[in-house]
Amino acid sequence: MLDLPIRMRRNRQSESIRNLVRETRLHPHDFVYPLFIKEGESGSDPIASLSGQSRHTVSSAVEVCKRAWDAGIQGVALFPAVPESKKNAKATEGLNPNNLVCQSLVAIKNAVPGLTVITDIALDPYSSDGHDGIVRDGKILNDETVDVLAQMAVLHAQYGADVVAPSDMMDGRIGAIRSALDKQSYTDTLILSYAAKYASSLYGPFRDALNSQPKSGNKKSYQMDPANTREAIKEVELDIEEGADIVMVKPGGFYLDIIRDIRQSFTVPVAAYQVSGEYAMIHHPSHTPDQCKDILLESLLALKRAGSDIIFTYGALEIVTAL
């Protein structure tokens, strides 16, 4: 061996060399843009805790979808802000064929047919209890909830959803949804399972946006304990066995080890959700706009480097214009 230092910096000396040796690249096709939708025609209203994000009317959501598609984004995920007057203990508005999600599906698929539209399957936007499942005597009922989730998935498929994304963490819901879809001949509808969804404290701004905070208790009896890894592997294994086409880890940024483990253990595509609390931290008021952009980029690179194939982020639109 020559007695010379190994010069790692040689590969970092210019922008063009750095561009050539970069190991991970972000591309507009990596991202799914989550959209909040509200009733009425009164224009979009900004969400205070989610800088730059708004609740959209169906027609302004269509405009955003067109912009996203033109910028190269391939998927959006819809979340309805349901008026309190339409929420009840059984979340029946979730099965109303004229609800906000069904109306949005029709409008978006008409205007931007190529865009993949993903709908959330869970009861919380419609539940007066603010839980993802039906509550009785303080308990979240598993099997009763799964029945409703399967009906909701069929309804969304009927109205044009390309992908249904169960985010509820009930046991057995993926199998129940797959068989309900297949029975109605929706064999092409994908299931993106929120397979490893943690009982995180990072969902606050999202729950503000939908006014969907649990009215009593918390979600720890169905969402996972942030301390657990092996349990995440088991959740993913079960969801794949039951028919999940894509599995998700949520939140993303605090769970890069889980993303990596799942990427290495399974062959299905892995999605990560950069959730509302993560996005809010990136957009902290002490950061300048340029810093926000740089932190967002760094956070998304981290998710991709860890092994995410798909990244849900509220920053999708701002990042693709910056790439």
Comparison of 140 and 275: residue with beta carbon closer to ligand PBG? 275
The answer to whether residue 239 forms part of the interface with ligand PBG (CB under 6 A) is no
Comparison of 126 and 186: residue with beta carbon closer to ligand PBG? 126
Task: Give the largest CA-CA distance in the chain.
Answer: 77
The answer to whether residue 124 forms part of the interface with ligand PBG (CB under 6 A) is yes
Q: Minimal distance in Å, beta carbon 233 to ligand PBG?
A: 21
225 DSSP assignment = P
Q: Minimal distance in Å, beta carbon 144 to ligand PBG?
A: 17
Alpha helices in 45-99 (DSSP H): 58-70
The answer to whether residue 132 forms part of the interface with ligand PBG (CB under 6 A) is yes
SS (H, E, C) 135-165: EECCEEEHHHHHHHHHHHHHHHHHCCCCEEE
Site for ligand PBG in 181-220 (CB under 6 A): 203, 206-207, 219
Residues 50, 280 contacting (CB under 8 angstroms): yes
**From 44, 54, 104, 167, residue interacting with ligand PBG (rule: CB under 6 A):** 167
Q: Minimal distance in Å, beta carbon 150 to ligand PBG?
A: 16
Q: Minimal distance in Å, beta carbon 16 to ligand PBG?
A: 37
Active site residue 219: no
d(CA 263, CA 261): 5
First to last CA, the chain: 42
Q: Tokens 């302004």 label which residue?
A: 60
Q: Minimal distance in Å, beta carbon 307 to ligand PBG?
A: 20
Residues 135, 92 contacting (CB under 8 angstroms): no
271 DSSP assignment = E
d(CA 224, CA 227): 8
Of the residues 38, 87, 109, 197, only one is catalytic, namely: 197
Active site residue 87: no
The answer to whether residue 170 forms part of the interface with ligand PBG (CB under 6 A) is no
Comparison of 78 and 102: residue with beta carbon closer to ligand PBG? 78
Residues 112, 62 contacting (CB under 8 angstroms): yes
The answer to whether residue 120 forms part of the interface with ligand PBG (CB under 6 A) is yes
Tell me the CA distances in angstroms from 187 to 168, 193, 205, 220, 227, one per residue in order.
Answer: 22, 16, 35, 33, 36
Contact track, ligand PBG, 252-281, x by CB under 6 A? -----------------------xx-----
**Which residues are identified as catalytic?**
197, 250
Site residues (vs ligand PBG, CB under 6 A): 120, 122, 124, 132, 167-168, 203, 206-207, 219, 275-276
